[in-house]
Structure 1
Amino acid sequence: MINILGQVMVYVNNQDEAVKFWTEKVGFAIISEEDNGEGMSWIEIAPQKNSQTTIVLHNKEVIAKMGTGINLGTPSLLFFTEDIEALHVKLSNNNVLVGEIINMPFGKTFNFADNEQNYFAVAERNKQYYKL
């Protein structure tokens, strides 16, 4: 039985730049860095060191050459925050491309893009729609 989502794989063109984006601009922590010594490396990041679900940044070109048939597209990720306005200001101040904050039936939300123009969404948690 599956009981938790452990990792989300994000395939990027430039791992170094992706790590800088997520750690320096968004404020994520590096959980681990691995290199198999044969050209494949990956970096595990998360909003906090003790996060249950992490993001693993893989080199898209290396994974494509493996011929595994994995979908290398960027997954649609929705992050939660307790203070959407403060996060919007922080990302804007860190030169992250952010969309406007909009009101939805489930609460406030906005999107942002990484350096490779992959878009992600953020929502402010609303007790009525999201389990806290």
Structure 2
Amino acid sequence: MIKITTAQVWVLDQDEAVRFWTEKLGFEIRQDASFPELGDFRWVTVGAPGQDSPELVLMAIPGPPVFPDSTVQEIKSLLTKGHSGGIFMQTDDVQKVYEDLSAKGVEFTDLPERRPYGIDCGFRDPSGNSFRLMQPLPE
């Protein structure tokens, strides 16, 4: 059997991303390791409390030799516009989470709205990544 263990999002500032995910969203740091021999590469993951996996990798955009400067700029441009993909999350009470996160300064792109599959809203992290938060409707 194959399992998903991690998903990755590009971030512009790993320290800022860690603060966002831990202080605002309440996630836990799972791994945080730096590798000077790899040009100060840092591997940092966060996860939801009480959920072993998957972990979310908060990945800095690598420059040369991994990516040429032109690619780095393209990724940053897409990222800051919110076009770098998305992660979908679930909660039992979207309205409460929306209110709690709004009070902490989280930027919402869509307010909670009832849809055929549940109550749904969207938010962004400080790097521009888009995320969806959904509450399933009772069966």
TM range (shorter): 0.7 to 0.9
Q: What is the correspondence of 1:7-18 to structure 2 with a 5 Å cutoff? A: 7-18=6-17
* Gaps in structure 2 of 5+ consecutive residues: none
Corresponding residue for 2:41?
A: 40
Match of residue 91 from structure 1? 101
Q: How many residues align?
A: 125
The farther-off stretch of 32-41 and 21-30 is 32-41
> In structure 2, what is the equivalent of residue 56 of structure 1?
57
RMSD value over aligned CA atoms?
2.3
Give the structure with the larger helix fraction.
2
Q: Could you report, residue by residue, the CA deviation over 1:7-54 in whole angstroms, capped at 9, with x for unpaired residues?
A: 001111100001111111111110110112231002110111542211
Task: Tell me the amino acid that sits aligned with residue 114 of structure 2.
Answer: N
Structure 1 unaligned spans of 5+: none
Q: Cα gap change, 1:28/1:17 in structure 2, threshold over 3 Å: closer, same or farther?
A: same
1:48-98, CA deviations, whole angstroms, 9 ceiling, x for partnerless residues?
154221101111134x6414x9xx663311100011111001110000111
Q: Select the residue among 63, 81, 103 that pairs with 2:114.
A: 103
Cα distance in 2 for residues equivalent to 1:58 and 1:25: 19
Matched-pair contact (CA < 8 Å) for 2:85–2:130: no
Say which SS state the counterpart of residue 111 (structure 2) adopts: coil
Q: State how far apart, in whole Å, the 2-side matches of 1:49 and 1:18 are.
A: 21
State percent identity of aligned pairs: 26
2:23 corresponds to which residue? 24
Q: The residue matched to 2:8 in structure 1 has which SS? A: strand
Q: Partner letter of residue 54 of structure 2?
A: T
Q: Please report the TM-score for the alignment, with normalisation by the length of structure 2.
A: 0.79
